[in-house]
Amino acid sequence: MTTAGTTTDGRRAGRFSQVSVRTRITVVIALLTAVAMAGSGVLVWTLESSRIDREVHRQIDQEIAEFRELEIDPVTGKPFDDVWSMLNVFLTRNVPDDDEMLVGYVVGQQSLRTANRYGQEVLDEPAYQQLINELRGVGGTRTFPSERFGEVWVTLVPVRNSLDEGSLVIVKFLDDERDELDRTVRTYALVSLLSLGLIVFVAAFQSGRLLAPLRTLEETAREISATDLSRRIPEGGRDDISDLTRTINSMLDRLESGFSAQRQFLDDAGHELRTPLTIVRGHLELLQSGDPGEVEETRELVLDEVDRMARLVDDLILLAKSRRPDFVVREPVDVEQATHTVLAKARALGDRDWRVDQVASGIAHVDEQRITQAVLQLADNAVKHTDTGDVIAIGSAIDGDRLRVWVRDTGDGVPDADKHLIFERFGRSTVRKGDEGFGLGLSIVQAIVAAHDGDVRVRDAVPHGALFEMTLPTHEESSWPRS
């Protein structure tokens, strides 16, 4: 049962999936950039605030150190007799920063202070007076927040001698120190916002540009149908999407070729099967059952046509199986022995001058049964295009990691215009009288060779005739699945 929460999550996911990829990319880039900029700003502010605190402590320590070193009256050259004189000289000689004020207190006397834009207002602040009372006699540093002066640090240094006692107060206004940092952060925030806007604009523009081929792909895929696979996606550039475009176009080429071959195959198969079926039907319709001679003649004709259809179906099944990964089973084969064996089998195909051109010595990892089937198919094809006494030769050779096996004859040969046609299904060149083949034999040879990751071709033999040569890899590896 679907719960309400699950339904809500599903709706949210559905709404998000409806957002375009371009928008998603832009939003993600904007969020990542904003988080990075905000994090950088917070980190800089934290580090600089800590630096300011350390600097204020350093300045306070420096003022205290300078005050402690003031023991001799620069006028008399003798130690100070009273605290008042010491504080007066120290405050007169020191020029504090804009964010600092020095105040001197002596028991029973009016306080002294350096000039500052806040002046007496700070000394009259109740929070300040409370801190002075708490620190008098013990010293130390305390802070208090003020709506008028911001964050204020108060450091009290007790001073005593034999005559009187007092204290030096160092007042630091941290808001003055941090004003520059705050201005810098505000400037950084403004620049970050402008930069974020520029980044979002560039991301939206660039993502749209990069995804344009995908939109074109979508439009093209929408227009492609089983009857029209001719549309292609415009190619350009050297990036990943351009590689994807080329891959999709290559796939469409293969699909178009495959569909075209399938349509042609169905048309040709239907045509080849229609003829014997028509013959069988016609003779059965005209059959006179009372005439034993006609019945026997019709019976023989029908069986002959049925055999022809059975051979055609067997060939079609074999071609269909050639696309399966288990069509060939590779094993080590002694090429020399296999060549002599296939020649012995081929001699039974016809009364010809059977010869051996060359025999290779070595081991090849092939399916011996399938290769024998292909060689015998080529030999049978050679018998059909030669006469009694013509030469048919079989040969084999190993060149590096390639095995070559060929069948040569001195028959009619293959016209140049037909050398590619004859390897197509139901493709035939010049047909001699009495040849009842379907034009599938060489297609079967090509399928067997392709299953071995090899190729087969035909060229003119010397002095005349045709030479069919298969080239196969001798190793075990296969590049299956094949496209």
pLDDT the model gives residue 108: 58
State the fold for domain 240-320: Helix Hairpins (1.10.287)
> pTM value?
0.47
Label each residue of 256-293 as H, E or C.
HHHHHHHHHHHHHHHHHHHHHHHHHHHHHHHCCCCCHH
pLDDT the model gives residue 160: 80
Starting from the edge strand earliest in sequence, which strands make up the sheet with 140-146, in order? 112-113, 100-106, 165-173, 150-160, 140-146
State the fold for domain 328-473: Heat Shock Protein 90 (3.30.565)
CATH code of the domain occupying 17-213: 3.30.450
Helix-strand-coil split of the chain, %, nearest 5: 55, 15, 30
Distances (CA, A) of 40 to 188, 190, 194, 195, 466: 10, 14, 16, 14, 78
Answer whether 378's CB lies under 8 Å from 354's CB. no
pLDDT the model gives residue 479: 41
Exposed, middle or buried: residue 274 (CB in 10 Å: 0-12, 13-18, 19+)? exposed
Answer whether 357's CB lies under 8 Å from 393's CB. yes
Exposed, middle or buried: residue 133 (CB in 10 Å: 0-12, 13-18, 19+)? exposed
Would you tell me how many other CB atoms lie within 10 Å of the CB of residue 412? 17
Per DSSP, the three-state class of 137 is: coil
Q: Where are the domains of the chain?
A: 17-213, 240-320, 328-473
Distances (CA, A) of 454 to 238, 450, 483: 31, 5, 14
Q: What is the pLDDT along the chain (483 residues), one digit of tens a residue?
A: 455 555 555 555 555 556 788 888 889 999 999 999 999 999 998 898 888 888 888 888 888 888 887 767 666 667 777 788 888 888 888 877 778 888 888 875 667 888 777 778 888 888 888 888 888 878 898 888 888 888 889 999 888 876 778 888 998 888 877 888 888 889 999 999 999 999 999 998 888 887 777 777 777 777 776 566 777 777 776 777 778 778 888 888 877 776 776 676 666 666 666 666 776 777 677 776 777 777 777 777 777 777 777 777 777 777 767 667 778 888 999 999 999 999 999 998 889 999 999 999 999 999 998 899 899 989 988 988 888 989 999 999 999 889 999 999 998 888 888 777 787 766 666 666 655 556 677 888 888 898 888 999 999 888 888 999 999 998 865 443 343
Answer whether 37's CB lies under 8 Å from 192's CB. yes
